[in-house]
Copies of this chain bind each other. A is one copy, B any other.
Amino acid sequence: MTTDLMPNRFRPGDSVLPEREAELIARRDAVLGASYRLQYRKPVHFVRGEGMWLYDPDGRAYLDFYNNVPSLGHCNPEVNAAMTDQAGRISANTRYLEPRLVDYAERLTATFPDEIDRVVFTCTGSESNDLALRIARLASGGEGVIVSSYAYHGTSAAVAGVSPNLGEAVQLSPFVRMVTLPGPAGVPEAQAAAHFEAEVRAAIHDLKRRGIGVAALLLDSIFSSDGVWTDPPGFIAGGAQAVRDAGGLIICDEVQPGFGRTGAHMWGFQHHGIVPDLVTLGKPMGNGFPIGAVVGRKAPMERFGVTARYSNTFAGNTIGIACADAVLTIIERDGILGHVQTMGARLHKGLEALATRQPTLRAIRNAGLFFGIDIGAPDSAPAARRKLALDLVNALREDAVMISTTGANEDTLKVRPPLICEAGHVDLFLSSLDRALGSISL
């Protein structure tokens, strides 16, 4: 099997396409590498974005309940103004002194626990995770990396090798071990911590049996690609301690949960009461401008950086810093975390109500505005549940509402609206989901 495990994608013949889109796809296929994928059976085509909305060439508005990069809305005017203003002044690199870089670095690290006080900028979440692995391997002296069983951490060779989510076509590293999460394994919450710790200890043991030291436990604290599993709070702490005891570092991949997505905290790992060694940032950091970072404790950063130089040409350039600074200003000034909690609660309540009428909504999990909604009866076949989730996503797309799927069986709806969504958007999504559930054959 060489599936790439991305069910929500366009395949030629999936649907009858309008001539305009068919022609654009033909041109695309003739010039882009074959590794590109389009979402939905009938791909979407956008020419304008604003706030919660994306517009197709005919002016039809699509409600965006999926994109977590423009966390503060598409084409946010405040972020764009900061970008334009800075672009007219200077875009320095980090080998020259530039006060704005330092100002933002201080501001960013201030949002972390005291122990985490150093930052290295990158351009993407993949670069952040790749660099964090380099630092962890040098600081620990080990090579082994422990991840969740359906983890996705990015696209570089090193990071793709620890991303089982990419499927059979992408070779895993001989140094990676996967641990099953308590939630998807059906372990009761009371035993979740013990389950996770036992899994991690078994992985450490297996690495050691092969003479491989432990470099890191690398976790997305919201476990988004595993299907959104955040509870019970603290369930990862014992496993994390076991890794520390074995000489490894804890890397929290905050590309998905970071910058307030979970509402309760700025950073997802805070839900678990741990303080990682390294934290990786990306996606919403600049509301779309390519910027990421590794934030971490001084000791591993020094162990790496005193001997090894890391010079990332574009990373930390002043335009990206200006965008990231505007994002942080808006998050703090506009009380985005509280807003996320309010909207997350409203959406959760609405989904619970809907589930009483629509038992197809098997389970609803969320942290702030990141939702995983399991689809299909528990006793149905996995393939049937996956098809149902896919049908739903495509029915919503026909209704001009955008979400996608996640989870090991890809039968979990992934709902992840920009953080600025209002009550009206939430209610619109709920009514559209209700319609979609009614429209498909269950």
Contact = CB atoms under 8 A, between A and B. Distances in A.
Given A37-B311, A119-B33, A123-B124, A157 B155 contact: no
Interface stretch (A82-90, A195-203, A243-251, A373-381): A82-90
Contacts of A120: 32-33, 35-36
A61 to B, nearest CB: 13
Q: Which of A74, A306, A308 has the most CB of B within 10 A?
A: A308
A290 interface: yes
Contacts of A134: 157, 160
Interface in A82-122: 83-84, 87-99, 101-102, 105-106, 109, 117-120
A313 interface: yes
Interface in A397-440: none
A91 B70 contact: yes
Contact of A32 (B25, B67, B99, B118): B118
A27 B157 contact: no
Interface residues on A, range: 35 or more
A172 to B, nearest CB: 13
A137 to B, nearest CB: 8
A133 B156 CA distance: 10
Interface stretch (A182-190, A296-304, A352-360, A388-396): A296-304
B117 A31 contact: yes
B46 A98 contact: yes
Contacts of A4: 307-309
Interface string A69-86: 110001101001001100
Contact of A319 (B46, B288, B294, B296): B288
Nearest to A99: B24
A104 to B, nearest CB: 10
A260 interface: no
B97 A320 contact: no
Contacts of A315: 124, 290
A38 B117 CA distance: 20
Given A155-B311, A282-B313, A312-B126, A305 B117 contact: no
A383 interface: no
A14 interface: no
B43 A307 contact: no
Contacts of A262: none
B31 A109 contact: yes
B290 A90 contact: no
Contacts of A220: none
Nearest to A6: B309
Contacts of A92: 46, 49, 54
Nearest to A323: B87
Interface in A38-77: 38-39, 43-49, 54, 67, 69-70, 74-75, 77
A315 B54 CA distance: 19
Nearest to A4: B309
A21 to B, nearest CB: 6
Contacts of A47: 89-90, 98-99
Given A90-B54, A308-B166, A46 B127 contact: no
A263 interface: no
A306 B198 CA distance: 38
A354 to B, nearest CB: 27
A237 to B, nearest CB: 26
B90 A75 contact: yes
A106 B31 contact: yes
A39 B313 contact: no
A123 B124 CA distance: 7
Contact of A102 (B31, B109, B119): B31
Given A49-B89, A49-B91, A75-B90, 7 more contacts: A28-B105, A31-B119, A33-B304, A35-B305, A35-B309, A39-B95, A46-B96
28 contacts: A6-B309, A28-B97, A32-B94, A32-B118, A33-B296, A33-B304, A33-B305, A35-B120, A36-B305, A37-B95, A38-B96, A38-B97, A39-B95, A44-B96, A44-B97, A45-B97, A46-B96, A46-B98, A49-B90, A49-B91, A83-B87, A123-B123, A130-B130, A155-B311, A156-B157, A157-B157, A169-B307, A283-B313
